A and B are shown apart, each in its own frame.
Chain A
Amino acid sequence: MFIKNAWYVVAWSEEVTREPLARTVLGEEVMLYRTQDGKPVALADRCAHRAYPLSAGRVIGDNIQCGYHGFEYDCSGICVKVPAQERIPQRAVVTSYPVHEAHRWVWIFMGDAEKANSTPVPDNHWMTDPAWDRVTHTRLIESSAELIHDNLLDLTHESFLHESSIGDDSVFENGVTVEASPGRISVDRWMPHCHPSPLFEKATGLQVVDRWHTTDFQLPSLHTIHAGVVEPGGDRADGHLLEVLNAITPQTESTSWYFYGFCRNFNVGDQDLNDLLSTSLGQVLDEDANALALQQTRMEKRPQSAPDVLIGQDAGVAKARRLLAQLLKAESEPAGADDSASREPQRAS
């Protein structure tokens, strides 16, 4: 079960080209391509004729041609050509999904298309803002999206899982302020007068700082970690600032896409620093990926009588789980027509 009436990152802008791209999101096979004027298109990756993947076909003009029998679909998923006959069957349509492209990410809306326009797309402008530099990564994580949400809302794991890079004792030694509001959870940790994390010390040369990180979870897909360091007593706004973007898109119930952007407002254009951060943060993501995959398999085998033992630091985790469950419940309640029915394109009569 997935929350569908929301925007999810489906690909990096550079991944969507004139060549079809196949991707599974929220348990559904989707294919993406660009029109001649560069607009991204997302369609169900299954020809209406015999279910052959459209991603195995070719882009012709603004259409996608099935590679099996040549059925051709336009950007709205309507079949416009059947090579073997003149008449096009009424039911020869595939689902098209709303997409939105901004700041190097292509977002997809898998739910009721009529709700797409009124659903805000989260901000990720740091990915292209010239005043910021960034390194990026992508991972396909072998765990549910829920476990990744837990990971990002309880950053005390940094002290242990990432102790050589972004974690140290200051993380778990300082408490959090958790704020729960509709559609949003934030977990703020203020770490006064301490060392920067090992990686930050290497990157900035700073020794003693006031330090913070705030995970801002815009349910159900994006965690933006506002983080930074400043000289003790300084103003946060004057510090070395980070905006760490973590877009989590379920692939299946037990696997998830992780689109990552680590943006900074200092040493912009420093390629050596970019290389250091790219390597180190890639290792951090690998450590997370390994841990999450192990957790997933252990949890699948765990008896129901042994639920998680949460602690005070898990306040954000617990509240997010509840809000996610509420969103899922709200979508599953019968409120009218089936989602897919309202999304299916209508052929002009």
Chain B
Amino acid sequence: MRLLLRQAVHRAVVDGIEIAASPDTPDREPWLWQVRVLDRILDGEPVPADRSRDRIGLPCRGSSAVLDVLAHGKSITTTTELLTVHEPMKVTRDTEEIAVLIVGRQSVLVEGRHRLHELDALVLEGDDPISFEIAPGEDETHEVPVGLVRLRSTTTKPISWVP
């Protein structure tokens, strides 16, 4: 399943936006993970003992924001990386993995048909697609920064997600 979220529909949170979370509706399922883009790192924001955190810089919003991933440490492992897209590149994910792409400055074209602009996000879940191409958007002359978050279950039970 592909879920394409335009920048204007992200939920506002303190100092930033929530791109995706599981669950994203309170009191539905046990809390598992949350992906946010923050304008700044909140000084001294505590991380609860049962949670892990990944953070990388994501050039966007006119400066450098922070791609912030919180996860339930015993259930979910996360990896977060910054792709620099200057030519078409292939990204592969496992079927057991949820991938979240967030575009920094400028735009990209995913699978030749989904145009993503700054802070647009694409969440990929389930068995389709497992590999996809990302290319710089038309007219992009610079490298396009794209945050890529991978979420996996720590157990044999595959991770799934309902937005």
Chain A residues packing against B (C-beta within 8 Å): 175-182, 307, 310-315, 318-319, 322-323
Contact = CB atoms under 8 A, between A and B. Distances in A.
Interface residues of B, number: 22
Contacts of B6: 179-182
Q: Which of B2, B9, B160 has the most CB of A within 10 A?
A: B9
B160 A175 contact: no
A312 B22 CA distance: 12
A312 B162 contact: yes
20 contacts: A177-B4, A179-B5, A180-B3, A181-B6, A181-B8, A182-B6, A182-B8, A307-B27, A307-B28, A311-B160, A311-B162, A312-B125, A312-B160, A312-B162, A315-B1, A318-B162, A319-B5, A319-B163, A322-B25, A323-B9
A188 B125 CA distance: 15
A202 B102 CA distance: 45
Nearest to B160: A312
Nearest to B11: A322
A312 B126 CA distance: 8
A180 B114 CA distance: 13
Given A177-B4, A310-B162, A318-B162, 4 more contacts: A176-B1, A179-B4, A180-B6, A181-B6
A334 to B, nearest CB: 19
A310 B161 CA distance: 9
Contact of A312 (B4, B27, B161): B161
B4 A180 contact: yes
B9 A315 contact: no
Nearest to B113: A177
A315 B162 contact: yes
B24 interface: yes
A181 B3 contact: no
**Mostly helix, strand, loop or mixed at chain B's interface?**
loop
B162 A175 contact: no
Nearest to A174: B128
Q: Which of A175, A307, A323 has the most CB of B within 10 A?
A: A175
Contacts of A178: 1-4, 163
Interface string B3-33: 1111011010000000000001101100000
Contacts of B160: 311-312
Contacts of B24: 318, 322
Contacts of B5: 179-180, 319
Contact of A175 (B11, B28, B126, B161): B126
A312 B24 CA distance: 13
Sorted from nearest, which 9 A-B pairs have the closest CB atoms?
A: A181-B6, A177-B2, A179-B4, A310-B162, A312-B1, A175-B128, A182-B8, A318-B163, A180-B9
Contacts of A322: 11, 24-25
Contacts of A180: 3-6, 9
B9 A175 contact: no
A47 to B, nearest CB: 44
B63 to A, nearest CB: 24
A182 B9 contact: yes
Interface in B17-63: 24-25, 27-28
